[in-house]
Structure 1
Amino acid sequence: MAHLIINDRVKSLECQAQALLIRQENKPPLAIPLRRLDTLVLLHSVSLPSRLISTAYEMGIALVYINTHQLSRSFTIAPPGSAVYSCRLKQLQLTGNPASVGLIRFWLDIKFHRMLKTVESCIQRRPDARKVLFDCQRTIRQCQQQLTSQHTQDQLRGLEGKAQQQWFYAYRCLMPDSLGFKKRQRRPPPDPVNALLSLTYTRIYLLAWQAALCSGLDPALGFYHKAGKNRQALACDLMEPLRPLAEQFVLKLFSERIIRQRNFTPAGSGCLLKQEALMRFQDTFESEALVWKRLLWMYTQTIKNKLESAFYEQ
């Protein structure tokens, strides 16, 4: 059974004789037998005829529509017994379950590994900050080595918090004093570094949200982060291993002078990126986003494989 993702713009979708008929501009229609599908994912606006919806539902095919411009308007129709229904049911059963610790260790191990690679790169490029970077490296390694001996989510959060605190202390030393970065601070970000970190995290969070939807997972049901109003907990989980890449990305923006201090404007007690610099940010972000999308897709498949096998590290 296939998980079909329609990423191209199509003229129309039709249901004819239990086949999905895809019509595109200047191309012959493409017919796909519905019996071969378990999930149909749509990434662009297209009319869904009621016959297609009802036939797919009767055949146990899940329909996932993703509004890439406003993800909160996305929806999933998962008939009982469909692959998406089964996957989300198992996901719900694992949420808050101590058995989810294995997944959390998996994410944090990747995160610590990427943090160490970033620190090692900075040691080579910034000999003036080696002392604080070596201290940071030692702390992160200790936290990574202790992962297997921690058996609760709170213990793992403690390790992550310790490593992250040490990294941001070193991160401060890597930034010019003129940028005014003292510590990680949000809502509102008081300086250019915090502003770009928040912007980059938000963009990756949206990619993670979309990846969860695209794979058939429920983006609101997380294992490490708790659900909340306007917060997709699984998207937060998925982006956790990518945070070091986001922080490295912001370092690159400033070190290569793609973004400069003069590109920000005060906004109350915070600061905002000016429009012309925002365009440069978006172009640079998109050049990195393909790799991040692939990683996020891999993480969703890891979750689905663990849910399917019903094997979790205790």
Structure 2
Amino acid sequence: MFTHKDIENRSLFVINGTEHQNLKVSSGRLMLEDTETKKAITKLPFPKILSLMIVGHTTLTTALIEHCNKHGIPIVVMKPNFRPVFYYGNMAEANFLLRKKQFEENKGILPVAKVLIKNKISNQLQLLVKTREKSVSVEKAKISINNSFSLIDTVTDYRELMGIEGKSAKLFFNAYFEFADWQQRLPRVKQDTLNATLDIGYTMLFNYVECMTRLFGFDPYMGVYHQLWFRRKSLVCDLMEPFRCIIEHQIRKSLKYGTFKPSDFEKKKNAYYLKSEFKKVYVKVFFEAIINHKSEIYNYIQQYYRCFMGKKSVTSYPNFSYE
């Protein structure tokens, strides 16, 4: 398990294996090398590395694994869409005290769930404000979301909270993507190109957040808001809520700039799928959007861990503010 000293003095190192980069050990240091020019991009001493996250396809040598073992550096290898391939090393999964606390709260923690949803809708409100639009749908959504904060404070069960979250999300999407002829949010159905794009972005964010939760030893299936369900990683669903705004903002920006286009998709059996020639474009855009906030995501989950383990008041739980 990471100590306070580790977290303060060591860095999370993310390697983009899709950009002609290779890892090797040189003079006892980790070296990131450009595979085309054979020149070193950067060198890092192993004691300064908190965790090594490799995205894409690369080669791991026994020397690298040996040095990671020696310095207690966990390795996470992911596909380009951030889907975990395997975890190796000190992933803190033996943190039985943390998991014991999770199992004791197996029916969720409503006050913490409220914090997560408040954080999510506050970022939705921030995105609407950033548009500087004054349309009827935008103003209606802003008023409703503002009223939701006081309603959440009075909630006494999960169904009420889900209802408030659902209403806010519906109004938010109607306003934020009004320019793109928004219909409705239907996860995984892919009824239109915008829903399909949201699915791609959310999936990459989900995979990245899952890797972060495993670094601290959380059981990803034990959530505080999303309830237990077969094979659903409820905690990951919980912790990605405040960060959904990263994906939503990136999609709006990419549509406005023409980076993402409806013509990038093809329709098969009443569902829209991204054409193979555009997959790299979408992965690259979402990769950069998520990695630009890697420190905020890590710090958020770190603070969440401390609050959860210390049974601190809900006012101590972290808040992610999208700027």
With the shorter chain as reference, the TM-score category is: 0.7 to 0.9
**Offset, 1:74:** 3.1
Q: Which residue, 92, 95, 98 being the options, matches 2:106?
A: 95
Indicate the SS of the match to 2:140: helix
**Offset, 1:183:** 0.9
Instruction: Identify the residue that residue 76 of structure 2 maps to in structure 1.
Output: 66
**Offset, 1:91:** 2.6
Q: Which residue, 133, 136, 152 being the options, matches 1:131?
A: 136
| Larger deviation, residues 250-259 vs 145-154 | 145-154
Q: Which has the higher helix share?
A: 1
Distance 2:46 2:199 in 1: 44
Distance 1:207 1:253 in 2: 21
Change (3 A) 1:227 1:29: same
**Offset, 1:285:** 1.8
Distance 1:282 1:78 in 2: 26
- One-letter amino acid of the structure 2 residue matched with residue 91 of structure 1: Q
Instruction: Identify the residue that residue 37 of structure 1 maps to in structure 2.
Output: none
* 2:274 matches 1:273: yes
Instruction: Identify the residue that residue 258 of structure 2 maps to in structure 1.
Output: 257
Count of paired positions: 283
Poorly superposed stretches of 4+, deviation over 6 Å: 25-32, 75-80
For normalisation by structure 2, the TM-score amounts to: 0.73
Contact 2:115 2:314 in 1 (8 A): no
Alignment of 1:113-192 (within 5 A): 113-122=122-131, 124-125=132-133, 127=134, 130-171=135-176, 173-176=178-181, 181-192=182-193
Instruction: Identify the residue that residue 36 of structure 1 maps to in structure 2.
Output: none
Change (3 A) 1:66 1:79: closer
**Offset, 1:185:** 1.7
Contact 1:42 1:64 in 2 (8 A): yes
Distance 1:260 1:86 in 2: 48
Q: Structure 1: 5+ residue runs without aligned partners?
A: 13-21, 33-39
Indicate the SS of the match to 1:66: strand
Instruction: Identify the residue that residue 17 of structure 1 maps to in structure 2.
Output: none
Contact 2:247 2:286 in 1 (8 A): no
Q: Which residue, 95, 108, 119 being the options, matches 1:110?
A: 119
Distance 1:184 1:167 in 2: 11
Instruction: Identify the residue that residue 236 of structure 2 maps to in structure 1.
Output: 235
* 2:270 matches 1:283: no
Change (3 A) 1:240 1:5: same
Indicate the SS of the match to 1:246: helix
- One-letter amino acid of the structure 2 residue matched with residue 139 of structure 1: S
Distance 1:294 1:208 in 2: 12
Distance 1:87 1:188 in 2: 36
**Offset, 1:224:** 1.0
Give per-residue Cα distances to partners, 1:45-86, cap 9 Å, x unaligned.
56567xx98x99xxxx8x855332352643677789x6x332
Distance 2:44 2:121 in 1: 48
Distance 2:186 2:205 in 1: 18
**Offset, 1:308:** 2.6
Contact 2:107 2:224 in 1 (8 A): yes
**Offset, 1:172:** 5.0
Change (3 A) 1:196 1:218: same
Identity of aligned residues (%): 18
Cα-Cα RMSD: 3.6
Contact 1:109 1:147 in 2 (8 A): yes
- One-letter amino acid of the structure 1 residue matched with residue 312 of structure 2: F
